Structure 1
Amino acid sequence: MITKLNLEDILFLDIETVPETQYFSDLTDTKKELWNLKSKYQRNELSAEEFYERAGIWAEFGKIVCISVGYFILKGENRQFRTTSFYGEEINILKDFKNLLETHYNHPRQLLCAHNGKEFDFPYIARRMIIHNIPLPSKLNLFGKKPWEVPHLDTLELWKFGDYKNYTSLKLLTNILGIPSPKDDIDGSEVYRVYYQDKQIDRIIVYCEKDTIAVAQILLRLRGDAILTDDEIIHI
């Protein structure tokens, strides 16, 4: 039962990704051809170069520019939700995130939670760690684990209630559940421009942390708990 989960045992997270290079022309000839093959069924009438701005959604052609995390601190009737972010060079982001998991979230009862995390965030982080020769932390190493042993919560999966045909975006779910929208500045389609052209990583961090907060709010609503107020949210 979701209501039996200890909120302090859950690490909420969201990632933001971009193509590995700013321009398609920066790729090697081999990588260009591989991108052409990978994307040809998604591009419609666009060329491989025109479609390249969307390459960040594939771990093989993208990179992580921000991982935001959030966690609950509960003291009697008082609660806080604290958020912080890892950003900079991708390899350092991944090493710092791994250190957090191994230092503070290494117990079997502790869980990772994201929206569409099982399809995107968790495998993306794991793949990028392997690409960088970073050994996987136990929370991301699923080899040999039975389904009920996987330490991952996914608010999209919880909302599906077994309906695997349905996809509900974070923006839609926050709207229908009466949660303040995290999409008040940029959305995912603009991260490429904000990162490479505007060079405003601070906006991406704010956006990523708001998504992390939204995931926590959704879980609270699914549990029947009151959502967080502004004064309960602490940015570290």
Structure 2
Amino acid sequence: MADFLDQLSDILFLDIETASQTEHFEDLDPRLQPEWLKKEKLIRTENPNPEPGSLYFDRAGIHAEFGQVICVGVGFFQTKKKEKKLYFRSKVFAHEEERELLLEFKGLLEKKKWILCAHNGKEFDFPYLCRRMLINGISLPEPLHIAGKKPWEVRHLDTMELWRFGDYKYYTRLELLAGVFGIPTSKESIDGSEVNATFYKEKDLEKIKKYCQRDVEVTARIYMAMHPQLDEMEIEIVSAEDSKKDHKD
């Protein structure tokens, strides 16, 4: 267990929230508009003939070429073996300018030799971050720079991949795993399908940040649930804001 706890402190759990690059399709870069319309034809909908551009608001955010990162939630465990206690410290990076947000996140990645962990991270979070960094003219930090690396040299974990146990046809939502493991939900206020509307219509980035932070915490708890040998360890969640308050006190 000691070796596992030592590695655990090197894992950075993360989750990203994304939105379309612009609120309205008409405001998208003119060079990208025809490319989106081609992409749109490949999206299955109940309406076989949707109005051109009508799917942009709801669907563009999941495609890095047409979307943007609006916040990155991160968290990591600090262990106190004598107390049999784990402290999970989390925070959310958010900025009006995507490039500044990504630069701040990159700064964290360069502080330590992190192992990155996200739910469906290998198919969404990690490649999305890489693409948006390059689009913003940012060189990739070492944990995301996987070109030329051997598979065992890539320090990426994915709770969905772990749950597949080799069954690569199997897709499991974070919320479903939270339910089967009895972990409190992260969907109390919004879910992923409502992020774009919350960002553009409600202009409530704080609500999205809280949702993102909860997803990070849920991902970390699911990872721990997959290692039942640590059942005797108590987990205490501490946000970055709580840490600052404690430091002031």
- For normalisation by structure 2, the TM-score amounts to 0.88
- Residue number among 106, 110, 120 corresponding to 1:102 in the alignment: 110
- Residue number among 137, 144, 156 corresponding to 1:140 in the alignment: 144
Residue 86 of structure 1 pairs with residue 87 of structure 2:
no
Rg larger in structure: 2
Q: Who is 1:217 aligned against?
A: 221
> For the residues of structure 2 that align with 1:227 and 1:152, how far apart are their CA atoms?
26
> For the residues of structure 2 that align with 1:226 and 1:184, how far apart are their CA atoms?
26
Q: Who is 1:191 aligned against?
A: 195
- For normalisation by structure 1, the TM-score amounts to 0.93
Q: Which amino acid aligns with 2:104?
A: D
Instruction: Describe the SS at the equivalent of 1:171.
Output: helix
> For the residues of structure 2 that align with 1:28 and 1:114, how far apart are their CA atoms?
31
> For the residues of structure 1 that align with 2:135 and 2:199, how far apart are their CA atoms?
22
Q: Who is 2:67 aligned against?
A: 62
Cα distance per residue 1:155-211 (max 9 Å; x no partner): 000000000111000011110111111111100000001000100000000000000
Instruction: Describe the SS at the equivalent of 1:157.
Output: helix
Instruction: Describe the SS at the equivalent of 1:127.
Output: helix
Q: Who is 1:20 aligned against?
A: 21
Instruction: Describe the SS at the equivalent of 2:152.
Output: helix
Residue 124 of structure 1 pairs with residue 128 of structure 2:
yes
> For the residues of structure 1 that align with 2:142 and 2:162, how far apart are their CA atoms?
23
Q: CA 1:33/1:228 → structure 2, altered by over 3 Å: closer, same or farther?
A: farther
Percent identical pairs in the alignment equals: 48
Q: Who is 2:246 aligned against?
A: none
> For the residues of structure 1 that align with 2:9 and 2:94, how far apart are their CA atoms?
24
Cα distance per residue 1:121-169 (max 9 Å; x no partner): 0000010000011010010010111111111000000000000111000
> For the residues of structure 2 that align with 1:184 and 1:151, how far apart are their CA atoms?
32
Q: Which amino acid aligns with 1:61?
A: F
Cα distance per residue 1:45-71 (max 9 Å; x no partner): 333421112100000000000000001
Q: Which amino acid aligns with 2:85?
A: N
Shift of 1:227: 9.4
Task: Confirm or deny: 8 A CA contact 1:35 1:48 kept in the other structure.
Answer: no
Which ranges of structure 1 fall in alignment gaps of 5 or more residues? none
| Aligned residues: CA RMSD | 1.8
